Amino acid sequence: MNNAEIIVKGQKYCLNVFNRLPIAMVRGEGSYVFDADGNKYLDFVGGIAVNALGHAHPAVAKALAEQAARLIHASNLYWLEPQVQLAEVLAENSAFDKVFFGNSGAEANEGALKLARKYAIYRGHAECQQVITMQSSFHGRTLATLTATGQDKMHHGFEPLAPGFTYVPFNDWPALQAAVNEQTCAIMLEPVQGEGGVFPAEPEFLRQLRQLCDERDIVLIFDEVQTGLGRTGKLFAYQHSGVVPDIMTLAKALGGGAPIGAFLSTDKVAAAFQPGDHGSTFGGNPLVCAAGLAVMQVMLEQDLPGQAAAMGDYLKSRLAELQAKYSCITEIRGQGLLLGVQLDRPGAPVVQACLKRGVLLNCTAGSVLRLIPPLNISRAEADEFISVLDSALQEVLQ
Ligand SMILES: *Cc1c(COP(=O)(O)O)cnc(C)c1O
């Protein structure tokens, strides 16, 4: 099928919930993807921070093929070698002790929220059920994570929402202090708000949160679904501030495209869960965990976090050149290869102009161009992106 044929069929049979661009992707290689008409695109969306190793990475493809031929699934009624190995790699390379695997970011956050509530009961405070999250956050699309998401527009039409959530402005310490009370069991936030427009948390705010949570035995949860696994220039974004949460959630890049999510917890908090408290049929199955292991091996061996930090600095300097040229760019934000270019106008026309020139770019929060390419993009690919963005901005401003 070509693009047009796939789209016609898709409009007939697929639930109409995505704002899709009118192309169908059929193949990927490194930092490039190809549509059904054979057009080639430089991918600065990277499956929304999923394709950290680029497309069709041989190590991931090999791990998936070999594991598929050996054992795809057997159930968590039994121990599974790839799951145990991936849990070990994650725990040994982070500040956490125990890992639970699910199938998505939303599920990872859902599990983290359940554990936080259970922990309050475990320490003898059943009355603590309230969770504080941030305005403009994004935590997923299930009912609880949708409720945790601090954006009214996503809540609309899905009431009644899950009870027990309060929102405060991001990085607003006085507002947070005012919101905490005897019922608070958890505070959840993204170290860099991704969907909300690429807004990093202030290190001082994170330190204040950590101290408050320590004083009151509140569970601090970092949603690193987008920021985790090298994206911000460190393996995990919490390593920038040194503020270690009690629970960290992961997903997007973890499986290199295979659907996997995880939450990691310290032993102290993890002790609140007993057999039967949580579970998942597919969670941690051998196939996706083999992919995750391959991703982690490449990530650590090739220092992809370091590569992301260096390339992020380079892109920031090149974006600053564009900012000097185009006054519609009002700010450049972000860390590593999670970069936001704030425009003074809607970003959708720029996305279109880039697409026409063979570059995939994402716009979030209406007016923020979000750069989330593979972590191993080359200098030449970064330069190609900048020159296309330059010409796209020129067209849009005419
Ligand atoms: C993408 C994302 C999620 C949701 O992940 P899904 O896999 O789509 O459920 C949650 N939190 C953050 C920060 C995200 O970026």
Residue-wise pLDDT tens digits, 10-33: 999 999 999 999 999 999 999 999
Quote the tokens at residue 70. Answer: 């050996």
Q: Name the residue at shortest CA distance from atom 6 of ligand 1.
A: 105
Q: CB-hemisphere CA count at 13 Å for 66?
A: 12
- Topology given in CATH for the domain delimited by 59-301: Aspartate Aminotransferase; domain 2 (3.40.640)
Which CATH superfamily includes the segment(s) 3-57+303-397?
Aspartate Aminotransferase, domain 1 (3.90.1150.10)
Position in ligand 1 atom list of the atom nearest CA 223: 13
Nearest to 220 by CA among 163, 251, 284, 264: 264
Nearest to 257 by CA among 281, 291, 222, 212: 291
Task: Indicate the domain borders of the chain.
Answer: 3-57+303-397, 59-301
- Cα-based angle 145, 147, 152 (whole degrees, multiple of 5): 130
- Cα(31)–Cα(241) distance, rounded to whole angstroms? 30
Q: CB-hemisphere CA count at 13 Å for 140?
A: 25
- Cα(118)–Cα(131) distance, rounded to whole angstroms? 12
How far away, in angstroms, is 7 Cα from ligand 1 center?
A: 26
Contacts of residue 246, defined as CB under 8 A and 6 or more positions apart, other chains included, come to 116, 213, 219, 220, 221, 265, 266, 268, 269
Respond yes or no on whether the N-terminal peptide bond of residue 346 is cis (omega within 30° of 0): no
Helix (H) or strand (E) segment spanning residue 205: helix 203-216
Helix, coil or strand: residue 398: coil
260, 267 contact by CB (below 8 A): no
**Res. 109 pLDDT band, cuts 50 70 90:** very high
Pocket lining: 194 vs ligand 1, CB cutoff 6 Å: yes
Q: What mean pLDDT is predicted for residues 309-317?
A: 98
Q: What mean pLDDT is predicted for residues 255-263?
A: 98
pLDDT, tens only, 164-219: 999 999 999 999 999 999 999 999 999 999 999 999 999 999 999 999 999 999 99
Position in ligand 1 atom list of the atom nearest CA 109: 10
- Cα-based angle 57, 59, 64 (whole degrees, multiple of 5): 95
Q: What are phi and psi of 394, to 5 degrees?
A: -60, -45
**Res. 37 pLDDT band, cuts 50 70 90:** very high
Inter-helix orientation angle 304-325/379-397, to 10°: 30
> What pLDDT is recorded for position 144?
98
> What pLDDT is recorded for position 250?
98
Q: Name the residue at shortest CA distance from atom 5 of ligand 1.
A: 105
> What pLDDT is recorded for position 215?
97
Q: How far from 318 is each of 68, 123, 339, CA to CA, in Å? A: 43, 51, 12
> What pLDDT is recorded for position 122?
97
List 28's β-bridge partners, or say none.
Answer: 33
180, 217 contact by CB (below 8 A): no
Helix, coil or strand: residue 131: strand
- Cα(85)–Cα(284) distance, rounded to whole angstroms? 11
Pocket lining: 231 vs ligand 1, CB cutoff 6 Å: no
Q: Which of 134, 232, 252 to mutate to test the pocket of ligand 1 (most atoms within 8 A of CB)?
A: 252
How far away, in angstroms, is 70 Cα from ligand 1 center?
A: 30
Q: What mean pLDDT is predicted for residues 49-69?
A: 98
Pocket lining: 223 vs ligand 1, CB cutoff 6 Å: yes
Mean predicted lDDT score pLDDT of the chain: 98
- Cα(55)–Cα(303) distance, rounded to whole angstroms? 18
33, 21 contact by CB (below 8 A): no
> What pLDDT is recorded for position 170?
98
Q: How far from 186 is each of 48, 140, 192, CA to CA, in Å? A: 27, 17, 18
- Cα(395)–Cα(316) distance, rounded to whole angstroms? 22
Predicted structure pTM score: 0.98
275 burial (CB, 10 Å; 0-12 / 13-18 / 19+) is: exposed
Helix, coil or strand: residue 266: coil
Pocket lining: 110 vs ligand 1, CB cutoff 6 Å: no
Q: Which of 50, 107, 139 to mutate to test the pocket of ligand 1 (most atoms within 8 A of CB)?
A: 139
